[in-house]
Amino acid sequence: MPRHFLKLSDLSAAEINRVIDRARALKAQKAALPQPFAGKTLAMIFTKNSTRTRVSFEAGMAKLGGHALFLHGDATQLGRNEPIADTARVLSRMVDAIMIRNDSHRDQQELARNASVPVINGLCNLHHPCQLLADLQTWIEHRGPLAGKTAAWVGDGNNVCHSWIEAAKLLGFKLRLACPAGFTPEADLLAWAGNAVESCADAASAVRDADLVVTDTWTSMGQEKEEAQRLAAFAAYTVNAELMALAKPEAIFQHCLPAHRGEEVSAEVIDGPQSVIWDEAENRLWAQMALLEFLLAA
């Protein structure tokens, strides 16, 4: 049976660290990369737009000697209501792995159940595990081992937040959450994480003495009709210089991008010396490459 990666907890802590270590090794090599994917193809299904996910997977396959196919949902038979199971069976006979970026974790599970090759979650409504591999890699590169450290999530309890919750539980760091009422993470996931995660009354409580501060856009793709409501609900959750000053002096700032300066983060923070967003964005490439190596060797 193939190994799938639909959520971060599909890997053990040891496997996550193995992928991150390999990502760092590939990044260090750069000009002398191996070519293990000669003759191999990755199918990339997109029903949601993307910059970092598409480029990191497509470039990563090319750098390792393989090829990636961009399949927009509206330009495939999926867009004409072909059953997901049928698409999974057909693609499995033609490619070596499938990456899907869509709105439905349930559809991703259906794809994986019927595929005979690895299926990777490039983003869905509930999880964004590939982003977390890059985020964790970046944190380790800048500040070393994660065990015992504290991360502060400020803003929407969304798919990226869910993957941060899984990371805290698996890797032994503390995650403090500051999310407004009505925008908190899934209750079942919080129960699973137990005391690895602490829900805070406000952003200041979450950020105080944290080693890492992380946020995401308040209005994601598909939520545009909620924008006015969200802007009002999140008004007190902007990561600005005053809030960052409550974290440890050596604390770093992360954002998965794209960002809205002046909303979830101020320009002085995201463009300031504590921000590691460009390293974080680049590491999507190396983390994706290491993940593909891991899954295709499984």
Binding site listing for L-ornithine:
159, 216, 220-221
In the block, which residue shows the tokens 């500051």?
A: 178
**Hey, is 97 helix, strand or coil?**
strand
Kindly provide the residue ranges of all beta strands, DSSP E only, lying in 108-221, ordered along the sequence: 119-123, 150-154, 174-178, 197-199, 212-215
The number of C-alpha atoms within 13 Å of 272 and in the hemisphere containing its C-beta is: 18
The verdict on whether 255 is a catalytic residue reads no
Burial environment of residue 57 by CB neighbours within 10 A (0 to 12, 13 to 18, 19 or more): buried
Q: Would you list which residues are annotated within the binding site for carbamoyl phosphate?
A: 50-53, 77, 101, 128-131, 256-257, 284
CA-derived radius of gyration, the chain: 19
The verdict on whether 101 is a catalytic residue reads yes
The verdict on whether 128 is a catalytic residue reads yes
Which member of 127, 128, 176, 230 is catalytic? 128
Residue of 125, 108, 114, 126 whose CA lies nearest to 5:
108
Residue 250: count other Cβ atoms within 10 Å of its Cβ. Answer: 9
> Residues 44, 122: contact at Cβ < 8 Å?
yes
Which member of 4, 101, 127, 162 is catalytic? 101
Which member of 124, 211, 216, 288 is catalytic? 216
Which member of 10, 96, 124, 131 is catalytic? 131
The verdict on whether 284 is a catalytic residue reads yes
The verdict on whether 261 is a catalytic residue reads no
Q: Would you list which residues are annotated within the binding site?
A: 50-53, 77, 101, 128-131, 159, 216, 220-221, 256-257, 284
In the block, which residue shows the tokens 């080693």?
A: 211
| Count of helix runs (H) and strand runs (E) in the chain | 12, 9
CA distances from 174 to 113, 129, 139, 157 (A): 33, 18, 14, 16
The verdict on whether 176 is a catalytic residue reads no
- Please list the active-site residues: 101, 128, 131, 216, 256, 284
